Amino acid sequence: MAYVNERNEQELGRRESLARLRELGINPYPAPLYPVNTTTAEIAAGFDPEKGNFQDVCIAGRIMSRRIMGAASFMELQDHAGRIQVYVKRDEICPGEDKTMYNTVFKKLLDIGDIIGIKGFAFFTQTGQLSVHAKELTVLSKSLRVLPIVKTDADGTVHDGFADPELRYRQRYVDLVVNPQVKETFVKRAQIIATMRQAFNEAGCLEVETPILQPIPGGATARPFITHHNALDVDMYMRIANELYLKRLIVGGFQGVYEFAKNFRNEGMDKTHNPEFTCVEMYIAYKDYIWMMDFTEKMLHRVCQAVNGTDEVMIGGNLISFKAPFRRLRILDAIKEFAGVDVAGMDEAQLRETCKRLNVEVDPTMGVGKLIDAIFGDYVEHNLIQPTFIIDYPVEMSPLTKRCRYDDTLTERFELFVNGKELANAYSELNDPIDQLERFEEQAALKSKGDDEAMYIDYDFVRALEYGMPPTSGIGIGIDRLTMFMTGAETIQDVLFFPTMRPEAF
């Protein structure tokens, strides 16, 4: 009922116009074919009156403003590429005695937001304004909702902007219409993915797809979404990571594989976390985490250049350089540098005492790995502004990672931090099936203590490793966060077309 009341209050006049159009024999929602042959941007970039080009144009878009002046009028038309002024003269779009199209349809029944088609030619007005002179006007879609009208005065001040974040994220379709600059973020997102895909392909990797609905939520320490498969009568889990499936493909003989994956984690939401997010993971045989650091530096520099045309980007007030090399710092050395304590070799009791002394909040379910991670999170992360590889994590923090070649209490793992946030996570992958099973069992013990983010035991993955997986390096990179960095967006909601939100009550 609330939806109907809102509709009646705001849109009754437009629905009456809709009915009147139909009475006049005009279909307000005709068949989709309309012979568009150019865009507003192409006309703006290429029109030259001396060449006499763009004299037979067909464009389509939304009416964004109108100035009705008797027998002649101007309007602003917006398509996917930009805006252009359209000049409409009554006697030209309504030849002969019947002036209904102009006097009734154009002047009275069309509204801002309506989608129309225009056939005509490009010209400059006497004031030098590039315009399209309409010879034919076609109604393509009647808008029944009133668009917010964003106005900018002579000083550049925006009035009546569609700026409320909740409305913008909920009604992204309106946001994209009235704030067309928002599209640039998503164009850059596509450029980021395309550039990364090219780098992976050049490295000899194959793009693949793996299951989103899984019997075991493996590959990460996170709380999954649970559903039920009726036909099999079993609980299933939405993917929290695609790692274990991709490594199965390496076992199967692929040299390198990657996937841009939608992952789902049933955890908190904030400016940098959405329960549904995009991550790319890539695995390549006969490489290690040192090779992967070199590859990552080059790829991210390439992405920054492709998206912004420079090595640097402003993120949260900090000028970040993606020019290689990035700093490489062992995690225990980072804690010593920023927290002033040496946690190397500490057992769980000693780490709990250290956390207490450092005022780091912990709980009884946390083991050695999470205690170290808590100290790191409180004292180190926010200091890592320029791109920094934090390397050589303790075994307890890395259940899927090969032990370090010079110290078997550590693992060959790195995380890349930028502007105080994690961007990438990578390993020399653990391929010892006996060690892997023991690590899984340690995770199971943590789960029994109440850690609902601890990993499940994936016996099929252990079986795959028993067939033999070559030495392999893998990496996961958060696409949403990388897009935030490359576009200067302050929240993850700004780089998702449709972020997760509490449902509306209609």
* All residues at 6 or more sequence positions from 349 whose CB lies less than 8 Å from its CB, including other chains: none
Q: Which of 278, 243, 300, 259 is nearest to 474 (CA)?
A: 243
| Dist CA 192 CA 196 (whole Å) | 6
Which token pair is 231? 């036909």
Domains of the chain: 2-147 (2.40.50.140), 183-326+386-495 (3.30.930.10)
Per-residue pLDDT of the chain (506 residues; tens, 9 = 90+): 455 555 566 688 999 999 999 999 999 999 989 999 999 999 999 999 999 999 999 999 999 999 998 889 999 999 999 999 999 999 888 877 788 888 888 899 999 999 999 999 999 999 999 999 999 999 999 999 999 877 766 676 666 678 899 999 999 999 999 999 999 999 999 999 999 999 999 999 999 999 999 999 988 888 999 999 999 999 999 999 999 999 999 999 999 999 999 999 999 899 999 999 999 999 999 999 999 999 999 999 999 999 999 999 999 899 999 999 999 999 999 999 999 999 999 999 999 999 999 999 999 888 898 899 999 999 999 999 999 999 999 888 888 889 999 998 899 999 999 999 999 999 999 999 999 999 889 888 888 888 877 888 999 999 999 999 999 999 999 999 999 999 999 999 999 999 999 998 87
Q: Which of 296, 278, 279 is nearest to 287 (CA)?
A: 296
Q: Which of 456, 419, 428 is nearest to 441 (CA)?
A: 456
Q: Read out DSSP for 82-148?
A: EEEEEEEEHHHHS-SS--HIIIIIIIII--TT-EEEEEEEEEE-TT--EEEEEEEEEEEE---SPPP
Which token pair is 337? 């540098």
Residues 43 and 79: beta-carbon distance below 8 Å: no
Q: Which residue has the tokens 């139909």?
A: 22
Tell me the C-alpha to C-alpha distance, in Å, between residue 416 and each of 333, 402, 478. 15, 18, 11
Residues 368 and 351: beta-carbon distance below 8 Å: yes
